Structure formats: structure tokens, C-alpha cells
Chains A and B, each alone.
Chain A
Amino acid sequence: MIRFALRRLLTAVPTLWLLITVAFFMIRLTPGGPFDDERALPADIEANIAAHYHLDEPLIVQYGRYLGAVIKLDFGPSFAYRDWTVNELIAAGFPVSALLGALAVIAALVLGTLAGAGAALRQNRPLDHTLMAFALSGISIPNFVIGPLLILLFALHLGWLPAGGWSGARREMILPVVTLALPLIAYIARLTRASLLEVLNSNYIRAARARGLAMHQVIVRHALKPAALPVLSFLGPAIAGVLTGSVVIERIFSIPGLGGHFVQGALNRDYTLVLGVVVFYGILIIALNFIVDLLYAWLDPLIRYDRR
């Protein structure tokens, strides 16, 4: 297991390097620069700003300079938010995105697994059909439709919850978390249902039943763990997706998370901010995948990474 972990960590380094390199040159090949604006600057002032940010050096020198800084986890100053460094912006935005994402994932796990298990145990009965109909609509309706609808209903018509903003109050988190969690709940419910049905029809469950174990014991002791495998493999990319993909939610609910920096950073040609966020997410996703792989080994006795 330790050898496996070390091997994974070692492959992470070239992966990250490739990511940085591709992202660096891609953003630099994009037309337009961070300081192009409708009002063009006097030439000498533009040159001065470029020199201040080393943009006047050959690209390969800048690339080397950037790699050197990234090794020290210094992402440099933001070009578009000139009073802040990229590290400060990530430090301010990531906790917000992470809290939002974590709450949504927890809600999705609990509700999705419960709904999926409920549907599987009542296969082809009304409960199953109702839950699966909800799940299907949860997957198909995009969150930029659900979000404004929830705001309209709960914030404007009923007046129960705020229409947006993020000052730390719990009430503000409910609508964005629900909006973010709905498609996840739906997806997890469907995955759980399908895999639980498959497990329940397998021979060792039949054997357990034949030995006289009660149904709830069979499910809790023998069925749930293997049935969780597909959910787990979905969860790794899903968490990453929730963290990066909350751009839409952040915009609808005016939440100061990291997702907005991704999009706005690219539009502003804020080279350092985009790269910083890309590298940060790169590290995060590699770490998440690593954790999921370890959990796999723990859940499934057939998977042992150290065996040759």
C-alpha cells in the first residue's frame, strides 16, 4: 500500500508539470492581454506596466520564472485585482467554494443513498417510480434554471430565505447548497438503486438470506458496502466538479467563491490568477483521486494495489 501511494505521488509531479505547461502557453497564446482595454494606455505607461510584471521578457524566460515561483507555491500578483496576490484570492475564495461544495456533497450522499436504497427495496412500486421520476428531472434540469426558480419561490414570493449574498449566515447557504446538490442527489440515487439491485440479486446475498439473516442485517452488513463502489467512483470527479463547476451557482447567488475567478480570470486575461486556480485545482483533483483509490481498496476486498 505504501509503495502504491509513493508511486502515485511520483506520477503526480509530471502530471502537474504538464498541466502548468499547457495552461501557461495556452493562456499566453490567447489574443489580447491583461491590460488591453477600451481606453488604450499611453505607450510608455503600458511598457512600464509590462516591465513591472515581467511581461516584456521572452516567453520562455517568463515560463521559467513562473515554474520557479510555483515550486514555492507563490502564484504571484493578480493582474486584474491589482491590490491582491493570487494566493490571497485563492485563500479567500476556496473556503467558500469548499464549504458550499462539501455541504452539497454531504446532502447528496445522505439523501441520494437513502432515496436510492428506498427505491431499490421497493422496486417497481409507486415509491420507486416517484423517486426515480424526481431523480430524472433533477439530472435533466440545469442548475441555472433551478437556481433562479428557487430564488423566485423562496426569496421573492415566500420571503423565507435571502436572494443571494454570502456574509456567513446559515440562511444564505440553503438555496445555493440545494441548487448545487439536486443533480448530485438525483445521480447518486440512481447509482445506488442500480448497484443495490445488482448486489441484492447476487448469490452471496441469497446465501445470507438462506442462513436466516434478517433483511435489514443483510443490507447493512453485506449489501451496502459493495453497492457503494459505483457511488464512490462517481464521487471523486463529482467533488472536483462541484468545486470547479459552481461557477454558475456563484454567479446566480453572488457567492465570492473560487469558480468566478476561473471564468472572470480568463476573460480578464489575468494570467497569474487563471494559472494559479488551474494549478490549485490540479493539485486538488490529483489528491481527491488518490483518496478515492485508497478508499476503493478498503471497500472492495478484490482490489489490492500491491499485488503484482
Chain B
Amino acid sequence: MRQVAVALFALGTAAGCGAPPPPPPVVDERPAPAAAPFVAGTPVLRRGNGGEPETLDPHRAQSVPAQNILRDLFEGLTAEAADGSVIPGAAAHWDISRDGRRYTFYLDSTARWSDGVPLAAEDFVYSLRRSADPATGSPAVQVLSPIANAQAVFAGHLAPAELGVRALNPRTVQIDLENPTPYFLSLLALPPAYPLRRANVEAASDTFTRPGMLISNGAYVLAEWRVGSRIRLLKNPHYRDKDHIAIGEVHYYPIADQNAELARYRAGDLDWTYDLPNARLDWLRQQFPEALTVAPWLGTYYLGFNLTRPPFSDAPDLRRALNLAIDRELLVDKVTRFGELPSFNITPPGMPGYHQPRPVETGWAQAEREAEARRLYREAGYSAERPLRLELRYNTSANHKKIALAVAAMWRAVLGVETTLLNEEWKVFLQNRQQKRVTEVFRGGWIGDYNDPYAFLEIFRSTHRQNDTGYADPSYDRLLDRIAAEPVPVRRFRLLSEAERRLLAAQPVAPLYTYVTKRLVNPGLKGWQDNLMDHHPSRWMYFAGGGSTPDDPTPVAGGEGP
């Protein structure tokens, strides 16, 4: 399924048979008025997007649907290539100081806002401050935490102006970091670091995200937003790399129901689905072998133990027994079934530069794991006469329910554990998990914000708000501090590995598998690549052999019929 990115440039403006040729690229170097007529583009890319974005303010957005759209509308100092690697964005190049704590970015001289005004260093200073300002209420603000003084600004102890960001001159932005952060460049490609234009925001603080008002700097501009129906983007005629953008128009459809989305794809209304109904895997494999796309995702599905209450407080061996008794291969083969990767690690595999510690049970056969599980279970004082009784909580979802049922059956078969399954509505579940007053075992899942093990390990810091297991180990916290301060990558990765080993040995969680993303993609759509972050900006995509136009809703030729 991987495509060669170079082909994009060869086929950059490919318009296929049937579709009218694309309009000539708008070459106008002068700043245009705000209401510059945007040329309606072809071809059109139609993407299912799971749900309605909660906002298109990049500093307030958090959901995946919102981030997908924002990635097309805006561009940070850095950007992401089709394979997810970090490439220059609004900044053409940058210097990093020897100690890794000072980044100097030089803006691309062709970087412009969608109304033609050139981007200035001051725009980024304003935007990063706004994003970090607690008054903005950014839910994803942790992304900016490596910047000097960020934590104090988030907490309101320092004014946003104290954030370690300054404009050296109109084209140069300097950012100071608290600690050397090797993944810092990748954070700048995320929505909390996108620029907003001060005059645009301040003129209409409640409505500046509306079509016709939003000024953005990405490959696309917002043309239409009908809540619950669709969001339409048009190619930005002032985008610095506009000549290499093949898709003229992108439609995002907030279809929450997976079966409805599948029907829309089959009817030829979509080129890209957000998700797929799990139950229809075999049928999908048969019907859409070319369009079905499954790829590893930067996320781990796990079960968490509440370490603050019996029976799991001070019982690492009991937790280990439950962990070993779960047959992960069986789980992914027969229950989840989309090629999820069985895992004993909290970090997903494939992070560049990182050597995952392999817990010893990874190399065992399932029978050996179960024998060890029985031994530990007996030693913890449980038996057939005196079985462990526990509650397993999960939030409402057919998939979570199936997994919980399967795990409960495995625990019963191997150890004789009596599990009560408790299904809870999402917000109730979250509250219970965070309060740690009633939970025993709970479903957990974590998707990394950035492609580094730290994204997974930091949530087990004793003071982290996401630490729903209540795991509190001062040595582990000190390790995290050392990792944050370590400037040498090799040494840092070694420390990360040590931290994960320590965490897994304590068994606060039983990791089950690494997530996969699954969707149907029009086989004629090229230019995108599988990547761990599941970030797929429309700017890299093109149709081999054309695409549909706004007036011609018929499906693309070459796709699979119903």
C-alpha cells in the first residue's frame, strides 16, 4: 500500500479523462484583498471524518476529526511528509543549539496567509503565546510543555509573554526549551503550534473560524461549514507550495455511523473512510481487497489495574498472573481480527531509535505463560475453593465488550477467576477511572501525541493526571526526569528503555495489543502512505486517472463497485 512520494510531482496536476483540466495555478505575488476569489478546484477528494469537529480553532481543538481538517488548513513551523516524517513547513530551515535547548527558525520567504499577506515571525510568537495562555483553554496544550516556562504559563503563574518564544526579526523565530527534547520538531507540526493571525482572531474572537472569516496558512482554505453535513476546503491560492497540490477541493463528512459510512463508500460518495465496522472484516476482505487498508497505529490497548485498592494494591504477582493468563494471539486472531499486533509492551513497536525492552514472557509459549500464571495465582493465596473475584470495567462499545468477555473467559479457564463485567457510559467510565474509588480492572488505551516512547511512559508518572492506575514509584519519576534532561539521544533511549522495563516489571497494566488503523481508500487515490501517527494531509494526495468534480458526483472510474 505504500506509494512513492516522488510520483506526486510527476503527476502533480494530473486531471484524468472525463474531468475538466484544472485551472492554471494562480500566480500572484502581490498581497491580495481578503475576499480574493478562490478558484473552485478539481479534482475533489471526499473523506469520511468520523464526527463533527468540536472547533476549527487549532489552539482549542483536540479530537481526531478536528485535527484532520486543521492539518489541511494550517501549517506549523514544521510539517509532516506523507510518511509522517518531519519536514520544513512555514520555516524553510532551522538551527539547533549544541545543548539542544535553543531552536532558531527561519521562515520560508514565500510563506503567506490565505489572503496573500506574508507570514511574520511575530505571528508565531503571538500564536504560541495564545495557545499556552490558560485563558484560551487549550485541551492539547501539553504539546507545548517542552518550551521554556510553559508549565508556569499553563498554570497561570507567569504571563504568556514569558513563554520562551521570541521574534529575532520579521523572519526569524527563536524558541528556548526547558529541556532538550529530540521530538520537539514533530510537536511544531501539531495544531497547538499552528499560527493564527492576531487581527483575525481579535476582530471576531467567537466567529473567526467561520468560512469567509478564517485566515489560514495551509494548503487549503475553509470554504463551507455545514454542521453535521460537510466541511468543504478549497486549495489555497497563496500557499507557498501550491504548484505541487493536486487535489483542488476536499470535502470532510462527519459520518459517525460506520455502517452508514461504508454504504456511502460503496455508493461512490467517499474516497476515504474514517473507520470500518469490525464485524464485516471477512466480507470487506473479499469485496474490497484493493481498497482495504490496515496499518499499525501509534497506540496500545491495555487493561489497567487500580493499585490504590485491594485486591491489586501490593499484589504485583497477582497482577502478573492475570497478565500472563491472557492469550493475546487468540485475542487478535479471533476477537479483534484486523491484524492488531499482540503486545506485552506499553510502547508500540517501530519507534525510530528506540529498543523496546522485551519482557521474558514475550519469548514463551502460551502454555508456559499459563503455567507461570497458575503458580503465581496460587502463591497469592487463591485457589479453586477461594477464587479471586474482580470487576472489569469498560466503556460502551461492541469491541470492548467482546474483548472483556474473552479476557474474562481466559481468566476463568486458566485461573478460575470470577470476573464481573461492568459496562459504563463513556463519561461515567472516565470519571470512575480517574477517581480510582471503585475501579479494580479497567479498559485502557493510549494513542501517542508524538512518535516517541516518552509519550507513553510519562502518563505513569505519579503526579500525571492520566495515571489512572495510581502507579507511584519515585525511582520511575526520577528516571523520567533524567530522560527529559538527557541531551544525548543514545543515552536518552537507553534510559527510556530502562524506564519501560521498570514499569512493565511493576505490572500496573496488562498491555494487550498495538492498535491498527483500518479504512477503505479509493484505489485510484495515490500519494498517501501508511504512517504510525495516522496523519494523512490531503496535500500529498492525487488521483491516478482523474477524480470527480464538484458538479459530477459519479464515482471515480477504476474503483470497486458494490
Contact = CB atoms under 8 A, between A and B. Distances in A.
B562 A157 contact: yes
Given A83-B210, A84-B227, A164-B263, A40 B434 contact: yes
Given A39-B140, A40-B434, A45-B154, A81 B62 contact: no
A38 B430 contact: yes
A256 B140 CA distance: 28
A74 B296 CA distance: 47
Residue from A81, A254, A255 whose CB has the most chain B CB atoms within 10 Å: A254
A159 B135 CA distance: 51
B230 interface: yes
Residue among A49, A159, A269 with the most chain B CB within 10 A?
A: A49
A81 B427 contact: no
A80 B267 contact: no
A52 B57 CA distance: 17
B466 interface: yes
Contacts of B399: none
Contacts of B303: none
B141 interface: yes
Interface string A259-278: 01000100101000000000
B350 interface: no
Interface in B183-240: 206-207, 209-210, 226-230
Contacts of A82: 54-55, 57, 60
B229 A251 contact: no
Contacts of A48: 134-135, 137, 156
- Report which residue of A43, A166, A256, A257 has the largest number of chain B beta carbons within 10 angstroms of its beta carbon: A256
A198 interface: no
B309 interface: no
Contacts of B154: 42, 44-45
Contacts of B254: 254
Contact of B427 (A84, A92, A151, A269): A269
A89 B229 CA distance: 12
A36 interface: yes
Interface stretch (A27-35, A104-112, A281-289): A27-35
Nearest to B214: A83
A99 interface: no
B257 interface: yes
Contacts of B263: 148, 151-152, 155-156, 163-164
B477 to A, nearest CB: 18
B378 interface: no
Nearest to A163: B267
Given A39-B140, A48-B134, A254 B257 contact: yes
Interface in A11-38: 30-33, 35-38
Interface string B266-288: 11010000000000000000000
Interface in B505-562: 562
Nearest to A38: B430
A167 B445 CA distance: 36
Contact of A162 (B57, B134, B139, B269): B269
B266 A166 contact: no
A166 to B, nearest CB: 6
Nearest to B256: A251
B62 A163 contact: no
Interface string A141-173: 000000010011001110100111111000000
Given A36-B434, A45-B141, 12 more contacts: A32-B430, A37-B62, A41-B139, A42-B134, A42-B465, A43-B465, A77-B206, A83-B209, A93-B227, A156-B267, A164-B269, A264-B256
B466 A40 contact: yes
A253 interface: yes
Nearest to A270: B54
B137 A260 contact: no
Interface in A76-106: 77, 80-84, 89, 92-93
A252 interface: yes
A42 B230 contact: no
4 A-B pairs with least C-beta separation? A32-B427, A256-B228, A163-B267, A40-B465
14 contacts: A31-B428, A32-B431, A37-B62, A52-B135, A80-B54, A81-B52, A92-B228, A93-B227, A148-B259, A156-B266, A163-B263, A251-B257, A252-B257, A256-B227
